[in-house]
Amino acid sequence: MGKSVFTEADVRDLAGSRSYERGLGYLDSVGHLRADGGRIVATVRGTERYRVVLHSTEPLRGECDCPYGEDGFFCKHCVAVALTLLRAPGGQSALRKEAAVRDTTLSDWLGSLSKEELLSLVQRQLAADDGFKETLVLRASTARGDTAAARSAIRAMVDPEDFTQYGYIGYQDAAGYAAQVSRAAEAVQELAESGRADAAVEAARDAISRVIAVYGSADDSDGEISQAAADLAEAHLAACAAGSPDPEETARWIVDRCLDEDGDCVEIEPAAYADILGPRGLAELRALGEEALSRNPSGWAERYLMETLVRVEGNVDELVALYAADLTPNGARHLRITMELDAAGRADEALTWAENGLRHAAAEQTPPHVDLVAYTAERYARQGRTADALTVRRDHFLLAPSLPAYRELRAAAQAHGVWDTERPRVLDPLREVTDTDRRGRYAHGSLLIDVLIDDGDLEEAWTAAPGRAHPGQLLTLADASVTSRPADALDVYLQAVASRTQQTGDHNYHAIADLLLKARTCHETLGTQAAFTAYATTLRAEQKRKRNLIRILDGRGL
């Protein structure tokens, strides 16, 4: 691949402004940037040392083992690596050339070694890396058909002894134990692929039971052990598919796992085993599920098990009955019934359940589930019932005010042709409160500023801002008003600079530089460039001890 297929704008859009700005503060913390196959790999020094992987094909994707990155977000560390790559001489092309040379050198060298030299190299690695040794022992056992030894090796991989202190796996050792469990999952798959799938099934079950027993005495704050346990569950499913486990015995094992209160770290999805179980196994699964639900009708695990089985069988009416037996105040269960009926092509019944859900939430004085609101309003709109769609959106906004709810209300009112009369009805109550009047989760005074900005009503937003707008809203308002109200925008920027000069850190310094650039634009609009020059000179003198800040200002022409 030649030059990068993404731009800085792509990085900002993917990360969001907050993560992008924070990522600017980590540009000097990126290390070991290299190409590895079709990926770009690097480390970033943060609270800890994090590993970042960029998949730079279109669209750009990033992975990071920081908590935010593990949740699937393009985090500040991914931003730092992406920007470093874009700004590096030669970009990806140079990195890939280095990687190709490195791989060729290694391949040529290994090819030049004799059998004895290769054996010596492997033996040295075996002595230094217990994990590597366990992997080769397992492969050797599998190759010669010694399933007992293979199962013993897998059991050893999930043994927590090397990671426990006083019978507990601490946070610092969780990642190491998780890596062992992941190796066990790989070993189960290798055993199944070698033609010994039934032995792999038993090995997987043993390993899963052991991990469940260990998990209650482990600090898995980052979720690494549970992720490794998920790998083990997938390996068990694959082994079952490759082998011929007894259907009824497998059904009993699935039910035991699903109802095990201590087994939260291993999620077994009964529906995934449908083909493996066949009619006999599914019948046993249903009988066991019904028995469990009768013993504990309000049990979450019991209900979920039965709902899954009924869905596999395709019995929509029975599924509706299960959901209807446990309706929630906000209509979430009504929504599930609605979606099941809609998917079954029973649209009229689906709408009736959606309407009932909204009435149920209103009776409970609880904000309805947003997807229930959306479904009902959209169905009304498709039927040409724009007045009814507007009523649903209005009721939702008044009960649970938010910017997204306001946008939906505005769209519904515009579709019905009454936005000019509807808008004052919802804005007037917001004008009567300030940011200190908090009801529920949203400060209604702040919400007024958000909706005025979203409407493009900047003049009223400036008028309403005192006592309501928080600093972030003021900055948004200033950014939208650089041309129309440069003096007001300038005042906001200078106040923000003054606040940030009380803090340290490269991320903060980059933010100061951004604010100063905006302030300079305001001065240019006002024709007061000399005032900005004097201000910047004074600021640099006052902050001269912050060498990183001065370096960043120099780099930005400030």
Task: Say whether pLDDT at 540 is over 80.
Answer: yes
Q: What is the pLDDT of residue 263?
A: 73
**φ, ψ for residue 54 (rounded to 5)?**
-110, 130
Residue with the bigger pLDDT between 550 and 434: it is 550
Cα–Cα distance for residue pair 445/448, rounded to 1 Å:
5
What is the arithmetic mean of pLDDT over 413-421?
Answer: 94
Task: Say whether pLDDT at 304 is over 50.
Answer: yes
What is the arithmetic mean of pLDDT over 212-232?
Answer: 89
- Contacts (Cβ under 8 Å, ≥6 apart) of 247: 276, 277, 278, 280, 281, 284
Cα–Cα distance for residue pair 519/526, rounded to 1 Å:
11
Inter-CA distances, 271 with 298, 356, 514, Å: 21, 30, 53
Cα–Cα distance for residue pair 347/375, rounded to 1 Å:
11
Q: Check if the beta carbon of residue 229 is closer than 8 Å to that of residue 211.
A: yes
Strongest mean pLDDT among 185-199, 268-282, 294-308, 347-361: 347-361
Q: What is the pLDDT of residue 3?
A: 45
What is the arithmetic mean of pLDDT over 215-222?
Answer: 88
Nearest CA among 5, 42, 10 for reference residue 26 = 42
Q: Three-state SS string across 193-239, please? A: HCCCHHHHHHHHHHHHHHHHHHHCCECCCCCHHHHHHHHHHHHHHHH
What is the arithmetic mean of pLDDT over 140-165?
Answer: 79
What is the arithmetic mean of pLDDT over 521-545?
Answer: 94
Residue 535's pLDDT band (cuts 50, 70, 90): very high
Lowest mean pLDDT across 254-258, 296-300, 443-447? 443-447
Residues 358, 360, 362, 367, Cα dihedral to 10° = -70
Strongest mean pLDDT among 7-11, 12-16, 344-348, 554-558: 344-348
Q: Check if the beta carbon of residue 410 is closer than 8 Å to that of residue 396.
A: no
- Contacts (Cβ under 8 Å, ≥6 apart) of 459: none
Q: What is the pLDDT of residue 385?
A: 95
What is the arithmetic mean of pLDDT over 142-169?
Answer: 81
Lowest mean pLDDT across 43-47, 253-257, 443-447? 443-447
What share of the chain in percent tops pLDDT 70? Answer: 92
Q: What is the pLDDT of residue 113?
A: 81
Q: What is the pLDDT of residue 249?
A: 95
Q: What is the pLDDT of residue 429?
A: 84
Q: Where are the alpha helices (DSSP H) in 433-481?
A: 444-455, 458-464, 471-479
Task: Say whether pLDDT at 437 is over 50.
Answer: no
Q: What is the pLDDT of residue 434?
A: 58
Query: Which phi-psi region, left, alpha or beta, contains residue 243 (left: φ > 0; alpha: ψ -120 to 50)?
Result: beta
Q: What is the pLDDT of residue 488?
A: 95
Residue 39's pLDDT band (cuts 50, 70, 90): confident
Supply the DSSP string of 299-354, one letter for each residue: -HHHHHHHHHHHHHHT-HHHHHHHHHTT--TTSHHHHHHHHHHHHTT-HHHHHHHH
Residue 528's pLDDT band (cuts 50, 70, 90): very high
Lowest mean pLDDT across 3-7, 24-28, 165-169, 291-295? 3-7
Q: What is the pLDDT of residue 467?
A: 80
Supply the DSSP string of 380-426, one letter for each residue: HHHTT-HHHHHHHHHHHHHHS--HHHHHHHHHHHHHHT-HHHHHHHH
What share of the chain in percent tops pLDDT 90? Answer: 45
User: Using only C-alpha atoms, what is the Rg of the chain?
Assistant: 30
Tokens coding 101: 């040379």
Lowest mean pLDDT across 24-38, 467-481, 514-528? 24-38
pLDDT tens digits, 176-204:
899 889 988 988 988 888 888 999 999 99
pLDDT tens digits, 379-392:
999 999 999 999 99
Q: What is the pLDDT of residue 111?
A: 85
- Contacts (Cβ under 8 Å, ≥6 apart) of 79: 11, 15, 19, 20, 22, 23, 24, 26
Residue 130's pLDDT band (cuts 50, 70, 90): low
Q: Check if the beta carbon of residue 44 is closer than 8 Å to that of residue 77.
A: yes
Cα–Cα distance for residue pair 281/283, rounded to 1 Å:
5
What is the arithmetic mean of pLDDT over 375-403?
Answer: 94
